[in-house]
Amino acid sequence: MIGVRIKELRLRKKLTLDELAQKAFVSKAYLSVLETQKESDPPISVINKLAQALDIKMEELLEESKQPEMGAEEFLRIRRLLQQRKGGRL
C-alpha cells in the first residue's frame, strides 16, 4: 500500500507531513489522505513529486513496505505473553 510506504519513508527521512507536502508541492491534507489510505491510487505525477521530494526513485516508492504486517494469530500470541508478564492484566 503506497500510503504506508510514503509514511514509512517520510518518517525515515525525519520529515513532517507539512515539510514533505511543501517539498512535493502537494497539500498537507492530500498527503494525509494518502498516508491514511483513504486514497490508494494517486496519479503518477503525484508519485513522481513525492519520490523527488524524498530523494528516491519512483520504483522505491512503489515497492512494498519493508515492515511486515502482523496477523491476528501473532497479535494474540504477543498479547498472551504480555499478560503473563503482567500477571494477567493488560
Output the domain CATH number for residue 40: 1.10.260.40
Q: What angle do the packed helices 28-35 and 17-24 form, to 10 degrees?
A: 110
- Indicate if the pLDDT at residue 53 is higher than 80: yes
pLDDT of residue 74: 77
Residue 81 in any domain: the answer is no
Per the structure, the complete domain to which residue 8 belongs is given by 2-62
pLDDT of residue 66: 57
Q: Say which DSSP state 70 is in.
A: P
If you average pLDDT over residues 25-48, what whole number do you get? Answer: 91
The dihedral sign for the CA sequence 68, 72, 77, 81? positive
More confident residue, 69 or 81: 81
- Indicate if the pLDDT at residue 1 is higher than 60: yes
C-beta separation of 58 from 48 below 8 A: yes
Q: How many domains does the chain have?
A: 1
Query: Rounded to whole angstroms, what are the CA distances from 60 to 9, 24, 46, 76?
Result: 10, 16, 14, 32
**pTM of this prediction?**
0.69
